[in-house]
Structure 1
Amino acid sequence: MERARKVIPSAQHPETPVYLGATAGMRLLRMENQQMADKILNVVAKSINKYPFDFQGARIISGQEEGAYGWITVNYLLGKFTQKLSWFNLKPSKDDTQETYGALDLGGASTQITFVPQNEMIESPNNNLYFRLYGKNYSVYTHSFLCYGKDQALLQKLALGLQGTSEIIHEPCFHSGYLRKLNMSVFNEGFCARRYMSTSSYHPFFDIEVRGTGNFQQCQQGIIQLFNSSYCPYSRCSFNGVFLPPLQGQFGAFSAFYYVMEFLNLTSQEHISTKKLTEKLEEFCTQSWEEVRLSFGDVKEAYLSEYCFSGTYILALLQNGYHFTDESWKTLHFMNKIRSTSVGWTLGYMLNLTNKIPAEEPMSAPLSHSTYVFLMVLFSLILVAVIIIGILVFHKPSYFRKDMI
């Protein structure tokens, strides 16, 4: 907010809207303690109201909204909502269907998948959203998996590792030689991990020691247990009985999807094969904690210790959760920015609240920068030619002009 106050001219402060949306972490808190969630929003709202902007309020957005806003952001920045223009960028191209990208978002507490299925009935009404943007209708599939962000998924994985009354968890998703102390309260007080717990065996404030064993295959198999694929009330599902139509089109994967892949040095390539990712994770996860710390000394320990889990979780989520095959994996694009703008749900949220994307297509398409430059050069050349002809004609001797008349 301080940066915004410095960057935005003071005369424009009163007319600059500010929106605050809270996501999965606050959705979890609201489920556990509604009063605490409301109190936090009120405190934040009071803090923002101290600034000279037009504050429009704070609220917790739904998982469905979070997925939809991420989808809007990706396709808005890629220019997928407007028709491409062919003749000097002025004539709409009838052949260009402008197929939208799907959006894959991974946060700390939830993950979202959103895309437009091809000629497919969305069997679950709760997963269906309708948009009319630039004169075109979109029937969008979206679902948000609460508790399946990378942080909450890790807590679930660790909770599964608790056996009987043992004070030690041998965790293959942590590097060998790595140790972490955890209090039972992190499992008992959280909605996501608590459902895996048999709390009668442990004191609420019992301390647990997590010891890394660094085994990629065991890590992967343990993570796959988080995805329940045994029950599906629809023609096809992702996991946990949630409907998922056949994947369609290209997908932009952002937020933690990108950050983890960037750490693994796999974002410079256009397409990353499952084989390449698996080999990279096997190599990284089997390194000792001492080796990893020496190689990545500039990375905070809290983040560094979890990259083996996070990378393996992403692989399992995409393959076993969302059913990306070796072939459809080629449609994945791990992205952080598009045209220098960060990819995430926030831009889509703002565009929706400010009505910056019209429901109907404008009567005339705006000129692209290249078209504008081309036309300006063309008109300038014509103008220069007319002036030269005029000078030549009107500077001829008078008798020549008479002959012309």
Structure 2
Amino acid sequence: MSAQREMKEKNPWHTPVTIIFTVIGVIAIVALVTVAVLQNRPLPQKYKYGIVLDAGSSHTALYIYEWPAEKDNNTGRVEQTHSCKVKGPGISSYASVPRKAGESLSECMQEARQRVPEKRHSETPLYLGATAGMRLLNLENSLASDKVFQAVEEALQKFPFSFQGARILSGQEEGAFGWVTVNYLDDRLKQSLETRGALDLGGASTQISFVSDDFDGSESPDNGVAFRLYGNDYNLYTHSFLCYGKDQALRMTLAKQTQSGPVSISDPCFNPGYIETKNYSIVYDSPCVSNMKPQGAPATFTHTGKGNFSQCQEVVKRNFNFKQCKYSQCSFNGVFQPRLQGPFGAFSAYYFVMNFLNLADTSIPLEAVTEKLSRYCATPWNQIKQQHPGVKLKYLAEYCFSGTYIITLLTEGYNFTSQNYPNIKFIKKIKGSDAGWTLGYMLNLTNMIPAEAPDSPPLPHAGYVSIVTVIAILLFVLFILSLRPLWPRCSKQPQII
């Protein structure tokens, strides 16, 4: 026993100091691993949501947007997560029964209730923006417009979101926010790339917006909009033409052909063989053409098609005034427009019409586009119906006019040529989000929505590095000290003289 006790006492690993070092080392290692795991664990992402209702002239659409609570350069990274097309016409169509304008939104709003997390409902902003359809109704009958908005607001306030109001967007806002959407989705704003112009075509209005080196706002200040996004400033040219959306442009074209009050017209903008009886009061039931209605006209007229692209283009051109211009350069109707610059994105009706006509690929030369349009317009109506059995006849009948109008608007109105026409890209969606003004609107509004403080790591980076460094040094010192029993005991060796 005494021999074993003597060996134990001589064993350096059984000394109290060594045991203490070992315990400290184990604790240090556990602490280092714990700190590293806690500091580098993935953090749950917090999201905010926003809902925008686009109340257009022909229909209403709901969009849900989502973005991280943290921000990039004070601009939230917004993405579309869901869209819902409201059944029925635009809210301006319910002027005589405003209650139904609000009721029509219910189904899509129920979808929004399910799509947005319940705990976020009360803080999710809800906006309704009305565009050219309501602009026209407000011009024609402001009292009816107010009643429609009242019905819409009452309907939206019943849902658990933070309703921020319903209002009419100005044409300038619609164009500018459409420009923001196109460039945001293309990552041109974040990467400070050359921006893309925006071409928007709706049912009642059309917008053009782009950045031009020739435009500083001095010649036509009303067409200028300044933005600051992702730390960069943008001076934008934008203009909206009310009554020049494709539906109202068609009314103007028909009005030009029926000003004498005929009982029938042969329309070059409709396919040969097309025939329909139309009511004068419906054609002229719009502020865009109401002052052109012929006196003493019959109740109806027979509308027949003859399908001639070049003649249709001549009729369409009569909607534009190219003679009046008090500026250095104009688009049409005396409106200033600087030199076109850079690529453009064309969306909404631009895309849907050109895609239907298989002309959305702008690698097709402009001359070939007009040739294909000419052949389409000349195709007999019966053949068109056979080729597209699933399309509503009302929309199908208008494609010859709509295609001709688009090409005329771009080339004669906005001054695109065969050289820069390929710079246009017809787009429906970019990275899963619909092209249009609503995303730009929501993106702009995130600057006014306070960002949540993000979940932060337990330690600041400098503190984390310091702790890891101290523990590492401690472990290294303990390791060196643990080797002490193995050090050569030079001082105890007998010296030979």
Q: Same fold (TM over 0.5)?
A: yes
Closer, same or farther in 2 for the Cα pair 1:220/1:260, shift >3 Å? Answer: same
Q: Which runs of 4+ in 1 moved over 4 A?
A: none
Aligned-residue offset at 1:163: 4.8
The one-character-per-residue Cα deviations of 1:242-268 (angstroms, maximum 9, x if unpaired) are 00000011100000000011101233x
Distance 1:402 1:335 in 2: 77
The one-character-per-residue Cα deviations of 1:219-247 (angstroms, maximum 9, x if unpaired) are 11111111110110101000000000000
Distance 2:124 2:164 in 1: 10
Aligned-residue offset at 1:181: 2.3
Alpha-carbon RMSD: 2.5
* Preserved contact between residue 273 and residue 304 of structure 2 (Cα < 8 Å): yes
Q: Which residue does 2:289 correspond to in 1? A: 193
Is structure 2 residue 129 aligned with structure 1 residue 21?
Answer: yes
Closer, same or farther in 2 for the Cα pair 1:32/1:110, shift >3 Å? Answer: same
Distance 2:271 2:291 in 1: 26
Distance 1:326 1:402 in 2: 88
Is structure 2 residue 276 aligned with structure 1 residue 180?
Answer: yes
* Preserved contact between residue 30 and residue 37 of structure 1 (Cα < 8 Å): yes
Is structure 2 residue 326 aligned with structure 1 residue 233?
Answer: yes
Distance 2:354 2:373 in 1: 10
Distance 1:35 1:178 in 2: 39
Q: Which residue does 1:288 correspond to in 2? A: 380
- Identify which range, 341-350 or 101-110, moves more after superposition: 341-350
Aligned-residue offset at 1:402: 7.2
- Identify which range, 135-144 or 25-34, moves more after superposition: 135-144
Amino acid at match of 1:165: G
Q: Which residue does 2:141 correspond to in 1? A: 33
Equivalences for residues 2-401 of structure 1 within 5 A:
2-83=110-191, 98-122=193-217, 123-197=219-293, 199-202=294-297, 206-267=299-360, 269=361, 271-355=363-447
* Preserved contact between residue 14 and residue 53 of structure 1 (Cα < 8 Å): yes
SS in 2 for 1:170: strand
Amino acid at match of 1:31: L
Computing the radius of gyration from Cα coordinates, the structure with the larger value is 2
Amino acid at match of 1:170: S
In the comparison of the two structures, how many residue pairs are matched?
353
Closer, same or farther in 2 for the Cα pair 1:226/1:18, shift >3 Å? Answer: same
Distance 2:292 2:412 in 1: 20
Distance 1:169 1:227 in 2: 21
Distance 1:357 1:225 in 2: 47
Aligned-residue offset at 1:196: 3.4
The one-character-per-residue Cα deviations of 1:152-193 (angstroms, maximum 9, x if unpaired) are 000000000115231112111111111222212124431112
SS in 2 for 1:242: coil
Closer, same or farther in 2 for the Cα pair 1:19/1:29, shift >3 Å? Answer: same
Distance 1:159 1:127 in 2: 29
Q: Which residue does 1:86 correspond to in 2? A: none
Amino acid at match of 1:336: K
SS in 1 for 2:289: helix
SS in 2 for 1:189: coil
Identity %: 52
Q: Which runs of 5+ in 1 are unaligned?
A: 84-96, 359-389
* Preserved contact between residue 175 and residue 287 of structure 1 (Cα < 8 Å): yes
SS in 2 for 1:13: helix
* Preserved contact between residue 173 and residue 308 of structure 1 (Cα < 8 Å): yes
Distance 1:402 1:39 in 2: 95
- Identify which range, 106-115 or 42-51, moves more after superposition: 42-51
Closer, same or farther in 2 for the Cα pair 1:143/1:357, shift >3 Å? Answer: farther
Amino acid at match of 2:215: E
Amino acid at match of 2:432: S
Aligned-residue offset at 1:285: 0.5
Aligned-residue offset at 1:270: 5.4
* Preserved contact between residue 133 and residue 357 of structure 1 (Cα < 8 Å): no
Distance 2:354 2:365 in 1: 12
* Preserved contact between residue 205 and residue 243 of structure 2 (Cα < 8 Å): yes
Aligned-residue offset at 1:354: 2.7
Distance 1:228 1:20 in 2: 34
Q: So what's the TM-score if we normalise by structure 1?
A: 0.82
* Preserved contact between residue 278 and residue 301 of structure 2 (Cα < 8 Å): yes
* Preserved contact between residue 158 and residue 169 of structure 1 (Cα < 8 Å): no
Q: Which runs of 5+ in 2 are unaligned?
A: 1-108, 451-474, 489-497
* Preserved contact between residue 128 and residue 167 of structure 2 (Cα < 8 Å): yes
SS in 1 for 2:292: coil
